[in-house]
A = this chain, B = another copy of it.
Amino acid sequence: MLPFARVSIIGMGLIGSSLARAIKACMPEVRLCVHDASAEVRARVSELGLADEVCDLPGTAVIDAELVVLCVPVGAMAAVAAEIAPDLAEGAVVSDVGSVKASVLAALEAALPVHVRVVPGHPVAGTERSGPDAGFATLFEGRWCILTPREADGPGVAQLAAFWERLGARVEVMDAQHHDRVLAVTSHLPHLIAYSIVGTASDLETVTRSEVIKYSAGGFRDFTRIAASDPVMWRDVFLNNREAVLETLGRFTEDLVALQRAIRWGDGETLEALFTRTRAIRRGIIDEGQDTAAEDFGRPHGGPGSAS
């Protein structure tokens, strides 16, 4: 039994096109209508055969959908919601995949008619690549998808949870504000820092950019991967989760200044104590199965017991 028989996706970038591929792979009976604002992307999506119908207008794509998933940057949600509002079917579930949830929940509730069910969502998955060619069907497998409806047991929530589980995801229901605080730590701050350090490194006078590239295997390389993520998507994340990001950033800066002081004063004990403590978190991630990278620094991972 399908959670939704007719699904519509608005926005066919990395996440939207992965979602389309995953639906076709896991629920081939679903009728899938999609739209993207870019004519070029629509043409490519047609070529790739990612949907049953590729519509020129968002309203056409959603007209009889039971589930509509908005896969556009967070800053574009309000406008897209307003555009599809008149065409949404009675009782349709409207969700999204944005990395910020409180502002999206508010924007969707404000723009959409009361006869639809707003259930915002955030699959915690992605790569640094963008566009419909970058998507793949297994992106959500084993990943968490966080739903942040106004009420945890509201209409459409169980159905949407079942939908994501069919795609291989693990589902959690959470308050939107809490989601934004958690993701500020696990995703937004890491991205901000990666962007910042890669910017710093490319602007130095004493070290050339080609030297930075050449010797990046020392650790810098991992930051460049994160800092290659979609610029518009991330601009919108920071503009829409400002408070939680600034709060977390303040904490980080405080801790970094303490480390700076320890280095300046030659306080090896403080450094070693922190460096020892941070290994524990890594162990937790390996145990939780949240690390799927097959390689890292050029060699296969060992199991949890091997990082001695």
Chain A residues engaging chain B, CB cutoff 8 angstroms: 75, 99, 124-131, 133-134, 136, 138-139, 141, 143-144, 146, 172, 181-183, 185-204, 206-207, 209-229, 231-232, 234-236, 238-239, 242, 245-246, 248-249, 251-253, 255-256, 259-260, 263-264, 266, 268, 271-272, 274-285, 288, 290-299, 302, 306-308
* Contact indicator A306/B239 (Cβ below 8 Å): no
* Contact indicator A282/B197 (Cβ below 8 Å): no
Please judge, given known A-B contacts A183-B215, A193-B197, A239-B271, whether A202 and B277 are in contact too, CB under 8 Å: yes
Taking CB atoms, residues of chain B closer than 8 Å to A277 are 199, 202
* Contact indicator A193/B195 (Cβ below 8 Å): no
* Contact indicator A209/B129 (Cβ below 8 Å): no
* Minimum C-beta distance from A241 to chain B (A): 9
Can you give 26 A-B contacts (C-beta < 8 A)? Answer: A75-B268, A126-B297, A127-B298, A134-B306, A139-B299, A182-B212, A182-B215, A185-B201, A187-B218, A189-B197, A192-B259, A193-B193, A193-B197, A203-B251, A209-B281, A213-B285, A217-B290, A219-B226, A222-B226, A224-B278, A229-B275, A234-B271, A236-B268, A249-B263, A253-B256, A253-B260
